[in-house]
């Protein structure tokens, strides 16, 4: 097991353990994943050549229910990364009180270099390789970095072919026509928006007086930027993997999205239908965006974006982790000393897994909800668990990250202890 990302992720528990009466048995169980699978996926390329891709699936814990977690396609995917993400998913599911454990999957690939036909072969090949490891009652897949509803549809279809029965509940984030849920595409952004809306008023931080920078302008970051701008937040900077744009007086986010979707690049523009006029802005790097003097910083890209190397450069008052693990444990300590409030990924980006749960329930019941119902249920869930986490933070005088882990550990501990612990068996003698 690598001593990199997973070792760092595990450190997040240390502070929480001082506040949770957790059994030794539970701690031992949470130190290791329940099961890990590494597979080789042969894919016939469009030019007739054969390529072999490395794939992974980790089911970290299933004490509270089936494993649940996304599948990402990215060149940096490794077993260490997937295991870390599955670890975080375990706590995220418990924090939101969902009947799931934690799992994650991925393929080491640059999907931008593949044709759509090659992507389909790769996606179906992945399911071919892991079909015995997953299932609606065992481990449920979902979209993640560089995977989308089309890919989820291919995966669900191929699993159904293998098992010879229609199994929509094995995958969430599918197209609506294949049993997907209303609101799933926007769920992570909506959940983050509801959490931000619940938290910032506690600091008397009003939208019109709040500047925001968002690193990551993919599906989640772009939707969240638009939601925040719509209610009056001044979104002054956004970026993608190529870099970002900054406009001191705020960006017209719908226009930036329109321009990026049309041409693949970002500029600060104002669009009136098909006509876009460039407005004053400057180009910035992702590193410069993270260091901007703004009220709210939202990392919505990949993990380890803020480390001990750049934590002292951060000027934002509040950081909301929409990406998984964007801040490492060493940077956490620096940010805390600087008085910066960090709101953790396992809470802030939990909207995705929450609406995935809704989709799973709808698939199994055959009853489907409209978008208003989905968003109302999501808002209620995010508001409830955000408030509970906040109260724990205030009660113990700890950060919101530590409070989130305390809250999740309490639920995980109760479930694991229900199976029997050393104390139970010793007292029966």
3: three-class secondary structure by DSSP: coil
Q: Please choose, from the candidates 226, 204, 234, the residue with its C-alpha nearest in 3D space to the C-alpha of residue 294.
A: 234
Rounded-to-integer distance, Cα 180 and Cα 175, Å: 5
pLDDT of residue 241: 83
DSSP β-bridge partners for residue 390 = none
- Give one word for 135, left, alpha or beta, with left for phi > 0 and alpha for psi -120 to 50: left
Taken in order of first residue, the domains within the chain and their CATH numbers are: 5-178 (3.40.50.10860)
Residues 6 or more apart from 99 whose CB is under 8 A from it?
A: 64, 65, 357
Look up tokens 């989905």; give the residue.
374
In the annotation, is 104 catalytic?
yes
pLDDT of residue 242: 84
Within the chain, how many helices (H) and strands (E) appear?
A: 16, 14
Confirm if 54 and 107 have CB atoms less than 8 A apart.
yes
pLDDT of residue 69: 95
SS3 assignment for 66-100: CEEEEEEEECCCCHHHHHHHHHHHHHHHHHCCCCC
DSSP 114-131: S-HHHHHHHHHHHHHHHG
Q: Please choose, from the candidates 209, 214, 246, 213, the residue with its C-alpha nearest in 3D space to the C-alpha of residue 231.
A: 209
Confirm if 348 and 321 have CB atoms less than 8 A apart.
yes
Q: What angle do CA 353, 357, 361 make, to 5 degrees?
A: 170
Confirm if 105 and 59 have CB atoms less than 8 A apart.
no
31: three-class secondary structure by DSSP: coil
Look up tokens 């870099």; give the residue.
243
Rounded-to-integer distance, Cα 12 and Cα 31, Å: 12
Residues in the chain, how many?
Answer: 429
Q: Please choose, from the candidates 418, 411, 425, 388, the residue with its C-alpha nearest in 3D space to the C-alpha of residue 102.
A: 411
Which stretch of DSSP H or E encloses residue 386? helix 371-396
Q: What is the pLDDT along the chain (429 residues), one digit of tens a residue?
A: 334 677 776 777 778 888 888 888 888 888 889 999 999 999 999 999 999 999 999 999 999 999 999 999 999 999 999 999 999 999 999 999 999 999 999 999 999 999 999 999 999 999 999 999 999 999 999 999 899 999 999 999 999 999 999 999 999 999 999 999 999 999 999 999 999 999 999 999 999 999 999 999 988 999 999 999 999 999 999 998 888 899 988 998 998 888 888 776 778 888 877 777 887 888 889 999 999 999 999 999 988 899 999 999 999 999 999 998 899 989 999 999 999 999 999 999 999 999 999 999 999 999 999 999 999 999 999 999 999 999 999 999 999 999 999 999 999 888 877 776 666 666 665
Handedness of CA 398, 399, 400, 401 (dihedral sign): negative
Confirm if 214 and 290 have CB atoms less than 8 A apart.
no
Rounded-to-integer distance, Cα 227 and Cα 355, Å: 18
**Which pair of structure tokens corresponds to residue 391?**
């109260």
**Which pair of structure tokens corresponds to residue 134?**
């997953």
DSSP letter for 266, please: -
pTM, to two decimals:
0.90
**Which pair of structure tokens corresponds to residue 69?**
């977690």
pLDDT of residue 422: 64
pLDDT of residue 1: 34
Rounded-to-integer distance, Cα 85 and Cα 273, Å: 41
Rounded-to-integer distance, Cα 308 and Cα 316, Å: 16
- Give one word for 234, left, alpha or beta, with left for phi > 0 and alpha for psi -120 to 50: beta
Q: Of these residues, 34, 104, 174, 234, which one is catalytic?
A: 104
pLDDT of residue 321: 97
């Amino acid at each position: 097991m690598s001593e990199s990302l997973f070792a760092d992720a595990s450190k997040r528990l240390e502070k929480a353990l001082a506040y949770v009466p957790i059994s030794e048995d539970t701690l031992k169980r949470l130190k290791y994943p329940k099961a890990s699978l590494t597979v080789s996926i042969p894919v016939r390329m469009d030019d007739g050549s054969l390529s072999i891709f490395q794939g992974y699936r980790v089911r970290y814990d299933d004490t509270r229910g089936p494993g649940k977690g996304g599948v990402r396609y990215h060149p940096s995917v490794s077993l260490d990364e997937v295991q870390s993400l599955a670890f975080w998913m375990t706590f995220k599911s418990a924090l939101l009180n969902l009947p799931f454990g934690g799992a994650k999957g991925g393929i080491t690939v640059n999907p931008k270099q593949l044709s759509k036909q090659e992507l389909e072969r790769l996606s179906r090949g992945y399911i071919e390789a892991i079909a015995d490891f997953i299932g609606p009652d065992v481990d449920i897949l979902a979209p993640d970095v560089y995977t989308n509803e089309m890919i989820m549809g291919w995966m669900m279809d191929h699993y159904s072919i293998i098992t010879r029965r229609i199994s929509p509940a094995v995958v969430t984030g599918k197209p609506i026509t294949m049993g997907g849920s209303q609101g799933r595409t926007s769920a992570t952004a909506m959940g983050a928006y509801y959490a931000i809306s619940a938290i910032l008023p506690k600091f008397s931080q009003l939208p019109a007086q709040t500047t925001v920078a968002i690193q990551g302008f993919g599906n989640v970051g772009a939707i969240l930027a638009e939601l925040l701008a719509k209610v009056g937040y001044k979104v002054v900077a956004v970026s993608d993997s190529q870099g970002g744009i900054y406009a001191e007086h705020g960006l017209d986010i719908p226009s930036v999205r329109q321009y990026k979707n049309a041409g693949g690049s970002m500029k600060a523009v104002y669009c009136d239908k098909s006509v876009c006029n460039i407005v004053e802005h400057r180009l910035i790097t992702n590193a410069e965006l993270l260091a901007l003097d703004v009220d709210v910083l939202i990392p919505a890209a990949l993990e380890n974006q803020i480390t001990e190397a750049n934590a002292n450069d951060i000027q934002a008052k509040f950081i909301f982790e929409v990406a998984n693990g964007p801040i490492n444990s060493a940077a956490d300590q620096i940010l805390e000393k600087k008085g910066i409030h960090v709101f953790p990924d396992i809470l802030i980006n939990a909207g995705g897994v929450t609406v995935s749960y809704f989709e799973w329930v709808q698939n199994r019941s055959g009853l489907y909800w409209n978008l208003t119902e989905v968003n109302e249920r999501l808002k209620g869930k995010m508001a409830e668990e955000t408030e509970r986490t906040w109260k724990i933070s205030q009660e113990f005088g700890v950060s919101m990250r530590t409070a989130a882990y305390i809250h999740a550990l309490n639920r995980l501990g109760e479930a694991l202890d229900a199976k029997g612990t050393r104390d139970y068996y010793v007292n029966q003698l």
